Chain A
């Protein structure tokens, strides 16, 4: 109970600190702007939380080195959500009520962010989502929540459209039954219905799977000529490996979860197996691209031992958009101005995203141009083009 009492003391102290805040907008002082971020720092979701946050931090450092925005330096406050809905709500409440941040950039795991949507909306804090793809986060739009992640509907529609375009007649699905996989699966099935076709096979693969023989055999029996993979790189690599083993070579289509074809080729590990593999990326470049040298140096210098990854790039792109909106919101920052600035972003070019970023008052999905990529086994990565989806 000593703990409980000292907890109470902390509560009281925080209450006083809050009342001492100045007339400035919350989180803004003459020379700083406090920006919050939430996502998984721990647990399997850290790929979509901690790593984009590292990207955001590197962008903020660059801005601060150049003197900040209107003379104000950017501070990043990180909160962990462990990919858990409860912890996400706790993290957002803490950022808003205790840390008193001006704006939020973050959101890794879909369900966690979706669970925190009500809390975010009620807080009116301008929010930019960097990785969560769940459609419910941006549809229906909350006045203050925007996303630079290509949401699941956009990518699922693009996957199907691409397969049809390539002349596939018998299209199959292999998906993970977790919140990430389902967020993509549901709109994919709707896209199938809209095109009036039926998947010839619909199989499931666990995120920790170590064998996909059963799935491959079932797809082979169904005669699939294209496979849409709603999988993380690990199960996708297992699937492609076992497909190669069993002589099954359909057109295989990934999505943003497998955005680095070079790393993926290595993960599959069987020479030539990725010949028919194409994937979507919400960013235009892979980490090995010479155009990313600047960011690679910055990330690897700030986080020793790390290698620049696509997950870092998600954060870098999103942070660039946030910075642009902060600049446009002007010197007298208020949350209303910031929200307006986000809602009126039009054709903003970033250094990493495939397409320019455009938000509007009615559509808060600001990144709608996923890029298609492929890598010939042993050859270089090629950007095949962009599928621009949606209204």
Chain B
């Protein structure tokens, strides 16, 4: 099998490993961003692509992870190595709580209530000044990888890369296990899933919690990359970037998340060349991707790369079934 999904991903990983050897500071920074967005995309894809929850709070979770990691260091004097995992867990806990409204509603109603939650989180970042330092944000303590013989940018890059590999396999494991099948059942029909004995609360909580954890870990890395945390980074534009990574890569595919995140971040950087026209170009690219790569890049790869196999083909067939709505009416066009 000359190509195959595994080999392609291994090749990508090999490139990832040798990047610091030839990249300048700017290129390494961008590659680190790519790694962070891969984590975000995998987490979001588990929630949206597999469990079918149309949530808009991932940017807020990302922010909670970044703030928690930063603030635990600044206020309590924790070392990064303790604050960082705690940030991931705190985001996972908050994410789990979000499953409560998701139990009562779905589709666009869930979208708006999670959007409201995200706006409320922004409000807290801005107003809880004694703790969050408000709109001005705060600098995080410098990070050192001593006694390892690497400087901070390279060390952080490899830390991000290791986490990408670990959490890629964790994500793969989740979606191919019983849990993943339960997510898909919930996505395709909540009533049917319940009748199969799937506990909706438990699985929705799991999906929100897992995606919160990924976002929180990504947030911790992000705070260390920037050495700075401020509310601007976790707004709705951030949410749109994250949503586009999973749509471009392919909903319901972990490998697609990796590819989608890489493409979107590199495209955003390449668009620097169309000075002042980025908004127009980015908008056109979004429309173009949705129009011409339906099902995401993963669908294209599956068609053209020999031996590409996706575990459990999970791209939803029926648009309305993907995200069940509470009302009995078809929500997209039938022609």
Contact = CB atoms under 8 A, between A and B. Distances in A.
Contacts of B222: 86
A15 interface: yes
A304 to B, nearest CB: 14
B79 interface: no
A84 interface: yes
Contact of A79 (B8, B232, B263, B272): B272
Given A14-B27, A41-B278, A86 B33 contact: yes
B272 A94 contact: yes
A182 interface: yes
A136 B139 CA distance: 11
A222 interface: no
Interface string B121-142: 0000011000000111100000
Q: Is the interface of B mostly helix, strand, loop or mixed?
A: helix
Interface residues of A, number: 47
A110 to B, nearest CB: 8
Contacts of B292: none
A368 B214 CA distance: 47
B232 A179 contact: yes
A136 B138 CA distance: 11
A296 interface: no
A11 B31 CA distance: 11
Given A11-B23, A93-B26, A111-B230, A179 B12 contact: no
Contacts of A82: 237, 278
Contacts of B267: 3
A179 B275 contact: no
Given A41-B276, A78-B275, A85-B228, A181 B26 contact: no
Contacts of B91: none
Nearest to A89: B226
A114 B135 contact: no
B4 interface: no
Interface string A140-181: 000000000000000000000000000000000000011101
A18 interface: yes
User: Interface extent on B, as a size class?
Assistant: 35 or more
A98 interface: yes
Given A8-B15, A41-B275, A93-B29, A85 B226 contact: yes
Contacts of A4: 12, 15, 262, 266
Interface in B236-277: 237, 259, 262-263, 266-267, 269, 272, 275-276
11 contacts: A3-B263, A4-B266, A5-B15, A84-B233, A85-B137, A85-B230, A89-B29, A91-B272, A118-B227, A179-B135, A179-B231
Given A18-B24, A84-B232, A114-B137, 19 more contacts: A3-B262, A4-B15, A7-B266, A12-B22, A15-B23, A50-B276, A90-B26, A93-B25, A93-B29, A97-B24, A97-B26, A97-B27, A98-B24, A114-B228, A177-B134, A177-B135, A178-B126, A178-B135, A179-B230
Interface of A: 1, 3-5, 7-8, 11-12, 14-15, 18, 41-43, 50, 78-80, 82-86, 89-91, 93-94, 96-98, 109-112, 114-115, 118, 134, 136, 177-179, 181-183, 186
Interface of B: 8, 11-12, 15, 19, 22-27, 29-30, 33, 126-127, 134-137, 222, 225-228, 230-233, 237, 259, 262-263, 266-267, 269, 272, 275-276, 278-279
